[in-house]
Structures are given as structure tokens and as C-alpha cells.
Amino acid sequence: MNVEAAPRLKLVGVSKSFPGVRANDNVNLSVKPGEIHALLGENGAGKSTLVKMIYGILAPDAGEIVFDGLPVRISNPRAARRLGIGMVFQHFSLFEAMTVLENIALGLDSRLSSRELLAEFNRVLEAYGLKLDPRRVVSTLSVGERQRIEIVRALLLKPRLLIMDEPTSVLTPQEVEQLFETLRKLAASGCSILYISHKLHEIVALCDTATILRGGKVVAHCDPKRETSRSMAEMMIGANLKEIAKPASRSFGAPKLAALRLSLPKPSEFGVALEDVALSVRAGEIFGVAGVAGNGQNELLSAMSGETLALTADAITLAGREVGRLGVAERRNMGLCAVPEERNGHAAVGEFSLTDNGALTGRDRMEMVRFGLIDPGRAINYAAEVIGAYAVKATGPGALAGSLSGGNLQKFIMGREILQRPEALVVCQPTWGVDAGAAAAIHQAIVDLAARGSAVMVISQDLDELLTLCDTIAVINLGRLSAPMKVGQVSIEEIGLLMGGVHGDPAATVEMTEALHAHPA
């Protein structure tokens, strides 16, 4: 490669602030033509903001963007596309009620007749070996297929720079492999790729170079092939990874939380049906449920918490009592607490104060209610207790939940449930989007809760988290739960296979194993 060639993209001293936070601070970045360049960082490090500026959705407060040697001002996505910058978002911009072809037409700037569009569409599918039916209505497509629409949209404009924002969080290992093939072909033809991810093993497998962001600043450039996952993780987090303090060998008590033959129909068009789920969590045990997003995790949490009623009362038992047909409030009164994945809007109400959020789930167990009225004093005291016990950075119980940072709000939510001294706790994605410090505190809180005799179930897409925390682990795939396995007696490979969904399918197993071996974690 010609060392003197002008970089495809250069960012010089780019900065961006929002009220209360400096999202990007003096960022310098350089991407060569045909290079696959990783952009690494934890949630909140500033990756999304940075690429939004490259794609014209936001404007930098300071600094310069240089494309193919010329300084440019990218005022909107259309201007970005005109330059040859394409972007595939993490959250798709699709129109459910319309067809694939209509969606693609909407994503294009040029006016092509339907015939021309179809021809171009087929050309791209051929060139990159992709499969997609133009007449299907988007609402009927799988997540992987929907992403393909976004990719085709980007490819149609013959991009010189393609930005991929966390593309594999919703894909099966097979689909990931397909995606990497497409990207490699694209890079070989001279297009640069800016690949945002926090999945270290993928970056090692795919990318030529990496830029690491932390707290809005660039903290390192490196060659992923020369680093280890651990060293890159440490650069991302900025501290040595701590070991979780877990009592070495623990004895477990009687089963406290169990599900048997738990089956539920799909809650909606895009939901997942639960099929014959069986699990058992003993007192003091931390039970993990691993899986790729979209395989029924939220449905499982809803079923366990009571937001969705089971079909039979005995499908779910708590300390021996059948609770399958009881609602959330009743299960909570009996000692089953839960924390759903979505902080703002589900586990907590952003517009409400911490006091009100405390009353949201704690009002019965913490005895705040008399004659149908909530005692404001008790509600405030409880919120203050949670804030104090879990070092939540907030101005007080009156602070609005929406004003807290992700990590602090998550600490409050977890603390709110744990201080209710539940018999059993089910949490989903406990540390998603949470800074490392808060994540460690949450993990410790979970471990302590289990040590006090509660049964804890952790549903997470972060395999590392589960392997650190849990005693037992099972994998959920397409709504089915695998048999439980003791952590320490199972290999990552096996788990990966189960996540890819190969219960007893020999041919698929072989394929999957080979794919996994080609890119060691």
C-alpha cells in the first residue's frame, strides 16, 4: 500500500458537547483507503456521537473533517452520502408496513424508476452474494434480513467509506460470518470501513487497526492482531479488570425459583415464543441465562416477573408455591422481584423522582401504603436508603430518574429491588450501558444477595459477565432453554454452539464448530 496515499477520512481535533457532558474531546482519527478500522469503546465513550458527525447527523462544535484530502462540512446525511459515506445503524431505519424495495427506494437520494432500482438491487445482491426478496413486507423479515436491507442501501451508493455501528449484536454466528465476508469483499475493492463494536474477538478477527475511545477522548491506537482481548479491554476501561469477590465454594439450599414446562405464545409479531422452558434456581445460587439478543430473553423475564401470566399456575414456582397465574404485584409480595432490561421507561420512569420510582415497586413490600394512600415520608426514606446503600450519585430522593447517568440509575434500580430482601431476584442485562465502576458494584451486590440466601437469575448477552458471576448457566435460543451446566465444566465453544441453536443438529454443529475455530476468541 502506498504510504503517501491520502487517508480516506481524517478527523482533526473534533469535539462535541451536550448539556452536562463532553461527548467528544479533541478526537484525531485517520482511516486509510481499503482499511477496516475499528472504533472501540465502552457505552458512553463517544463512538456514536463521533460517527453521527461523520454522517452529518450532528455538527462538530470544533475541529475539522477531511475526506479524501479535502476539508468538508457535512451538513446532513444526504451530503454525507453524496461524498460517498454510507452508514449502517445499530437501530434500523426501516418502515415495517412497506416492502423491501420501497424501503430501499426511501433510503436512496437519486430518483430511480422501479425497474432501474430493481436492476441495481439485483446487481448488488450478486456482487456480494446476498439474498433478499424485494417484494417481502419488512414486518415479516428476521433481524438478520432487515440488516441486509440496510447494508444493501449503503452498498447501492457505491460507498468510499462505510460506517458499521455495532452490527453484530443481533446476529447469529453464521450471519456474523456472512457479514464479515461481505465487508472483506468491500474493503478489497477499495472502500474503507469504520467498524464500531465492543466485541473484542470480532475486532481481532476482522479489523486492520483500532482506535480506542474513553470518556470522549482517544486513548490509544493499536493493531488488534498484536494485542489480546484483555489488553484492549484494559485500554477501553482504563483500569485493571477486577476479580469479583465470590466465596470460593458455597452450598446451596432448596430450590427457590423454578419453571417447568413454561410455554408462551409470541407476544407480538416480532416477539419470540417460549417453548417448554425448565429451570431451577436454589437458594444462594446465581443462575445465568446466556444468548444472542432476540431469542426470548425479554419474554422469559416477563414470564418470571409476572408481567406476562403463564398458561398454568404450576409453570412457575416460588419456594414451592405455584405463582404462574399471579400478577407482578402479587409475586412481588411473595418475594419475587425482577429488573427488566430497559432502564428508562420500564424499570424506572424517567420523569418521576427517585422517591416515586422507589414506590413504583417497593410500596407493598416496604409497607408504604395505608387505606389506599401512599405515605410520602416512608417513600422518601426508602429512596434515601437505596441512594445511601448503593452510592447512587444523585442530588437526593427528589432527583428525577432521567437526570441520573445510566450507571447510577441502574445502581438505584438494582438497589431498590435488593433492599426489598426478595426471596428470588430475576434481572435482565444488569450492566448494559453501565460504566465499569457501577458494573462492578452491581455485580458485587448480586453476589452478596445470593450469599444471603436468595435465588438469583441473571439473563445477559454478555457471556463474560455470566461466566464471572454465575454458578450455573443455560443458553436460550429461539425461545428454548438448554439444560443447565455448571460454570467451570463447560467450554465457551459449547455455549457458542448452543447460542447458535444447534440442539442435536449434526450438520449444523460441524459448520458452526468450524466457523468458531476459524476465529478463536
Partner 1 sequence: MNIGFFIDALVTVVGVTTPILLAATGELVVEKSGVLNLGIEGMMLIGAVTGFAVTFNTGPALGDFAPWAGVLAAALAGVASSMLFGVLVLTLGSNQVATGLALAIFGIGLSALVGAGYVGMIVPSFDSLFPDRLAGDPLWRVVFGYSPLVYFALLMVFAVGWFLNRTRAGLILRAVGENDLSAHSIGYSVIAIRYAAIAFGGALAGIAGAYFSMVITPMWAEQMTAGRGWIALALVVFSGWRAGRLLAGAYFFGVLMTLELYAKASGFSFLPSQFWAAMPYIAAVIALAVISAREVAGTEAPACLGRPFLPNS
Partner 2 sequence: MRIRLEKRLTPSRFMQIATPIASVLLTMALGAIIFQLIGFDGPRAIYETFITPIVASYKWQDVATKAAPLIIIALGLSLGNQAKIWNIGAEGQYIVGALAGAGVAFMLPHATGFWVIPLMIAAGIVGGIAWAAIPAFLKTRYRVSEVLSTLMLVYVALQLLNYLVSGPWKDPNGHNFPQTPPFTPAQLLPHAIPGTDVPPGLVVAVVLTLLFWLLTARSVYGFSVRTVGAAPNAARYGGFDASRTVWSTLLISGGMAGLAGILEASSQLGQINLGFPSGYGFTAIIVSFLGRLHPVGVFLAALILAVTYVGGQVAQTVVHVPSATAGIFQAMMLFFILASDILVRYRVRILREAPRAAPAEAVA
User: Which residues lie near partner 1 (CB under 8 A)?
Assistant: 56-57, 76-78, 81, 89, 92-98, 102, 105-107, 109, 111, 137, 139
Which of partner 1, partner 2, none lies near 72, with the C-beta cut-off 5 to 8 A by kind? none
What grid cell was written down for 400?
428525577
Cβ 76 to partner 1 shortest distance, Å: 6
> What's phi and psi for 37, nearest 5 deg?
-110, 120
- Residue 252 interacts, among partner 1, partner 2, none and using kind-specific CB cut-offs from 5 to 8 Å, with none
Nearer to partner 2, 51 or 348 (CB): 348
Residue 130 touches which of partner 2, partner 1, none (CB < 5 to 8 A by kind)?
Answer: none
Compare residues 189 and 395 and give the one whose CB is closer to partner 2. Answer: 395
Provide the 8-state DSSP code for 243.
P
User: Which residue type is seen at 384?
Assistant: A
Under the criterion CB under 8 A, does residue 19 sit at the interface with partner 2?
A: yes
Nearer to partner 1, 56 or 159 (CB): 56
The H or E element containing residue 503 is none
| 56 or 216: CB nearest partner 1 | 56
When binding is defined by CB under 8 A, the residue of 320, 372, 504, 506 that contacts partner 2 is 372
**Helix-, strand-, coil-residue percentages of the chain, each rounded to 5:** 35, 25, 40
Binding status of residue 15 toward partner 2 by CB under 8 A: yes
Start-to-end C-alpha separation, the chain: 29
Query: The C-alpha cell of 325 is what?
Result: 397465574
Question: Closest distance between partner 1 and the C-beta of residue 54, in Å?
Answer: 14
Q: How far is the CB of 98 from partner 1 (least distance, A)?
A: 7
CB burial of 378-416 (b: ≥16 within 10 Å; e: otherwise) equals bbbbbbbbbbeebebebeebebbbeebbbbbbbbbbbbb
Q: How far apart are CA 307 and CA 455, in angstroms?
A: 19
Contact flag: residue 305 with partner 2 (CB under 8 A)? yes
Residue 218: phi, psi to the nearest 5? -80, 125
Our finding on whether 245 is near partner 2 (CB under 8 A) is: no
Q: Which grid cell sits at 376?
A: 410520602
Q: How many CB atoms lie within 10 A of CB 486?
A: 10
User: DSSP code of 352?
Assistant: S
142 lies in the site for partner 2, by CB under 8 A: no
**Stated length of the chain:** 521
What angle do helix axes 173-188 and 492-500 make, rounded to 10 degrees? 90
Task: Output the smallest distance, CB 442 to partner 2, in A.
Answer: 18
Q: Site for partner 2 (CB under 8 A): which residue of 194, 347, 383, 441?
A: 347
Residue 77 φ/ψ, nearest 5 degrees: -55, -30
| Residue 26 is a binding residue for partner 2 (CB under 8 A) | yes
Give 101 or 336: the residue with its C-beta nearer to partner 1.
101
Q: From the list partner 1, partner 2, none, pick the one residue 271 interacts with, judged by a Cβ distance below 5 to 8 Å according to partner type.
A: none
**Rounded distance between C-alpha atoms, residue 86 and residue 150, angstroms:** 10
Q: How far apart are CA 197 and CA 48, in angstroms?
A: 10
- Which one of 4, 20, 111, 240 is in contact with partner 2 (CB under 8 A)? 20
Q: Which of 325, 322, 287 is nearest to 427 (CA)?
A: 287
In sequence order, which ranges of 297-348 are alpha helices (DSSP H)? 297-305, 328-334
Could you tell which of partner 1, partner 2, none binds residue 102, using a CB distance below 5 to 8 A set by kind? partner 1
**Least distance from partner 2 to the Cβ atom of residue 186, Å:** 24
Q: Is 133 in the site for partner 2 (CB under 8 A)?
A: no
Q: What span, in angstroms and rounded, lies between the C-alpha atoms of 117 and 123?
A: 10
Binding to partner 2 by residue 348, rule CB under 8 A? yes
Identify the residue among 25, 68, 120, 307 touching partner 2 (CB under 8 A).
Answer: 307
Query: Minimum distance between the CB of residue 9 and partner 1, rounded to whole angstroms?
Result: 19
Sign of CA dihedral 427, 429, 434, 438: positive
d(CA 109, CA 105) in angstroms, rounded, equals 8
Query: Nearest approach, Cβ of 106 to partner 1 (angstroms)?
Result: 5
Cα–Cα distance, 8 to 192 (Å, whole number): 7
Q: Which is nearer to partner 2, 181 or 342 (CB)?
A: 342
Q: Which does 384 bind (CB under 5 to 8 A by kind): partner 1, partner 2, none?
A: none
- Which segment (147-155, 289-297, 366-374, 431-439) binds partner 2 by CB under 8 A? 366-374
Q: Please say which residue, 18 or 123, places its beta carbon nearer to partner 2.
A: 18
- Tell me the site size for partner 2, rule CB under 8 A: 46
Residues binding partner 2 (CB under 8 A): 10, 12-13, 15, 19-20, 26, 28-30, 61-64, 218, 221, 305, 307, 327-329, 332, 338, 340, 342, 345-352, 356, 359-361, 363, 369, 372-374, 376, 400, 402-403
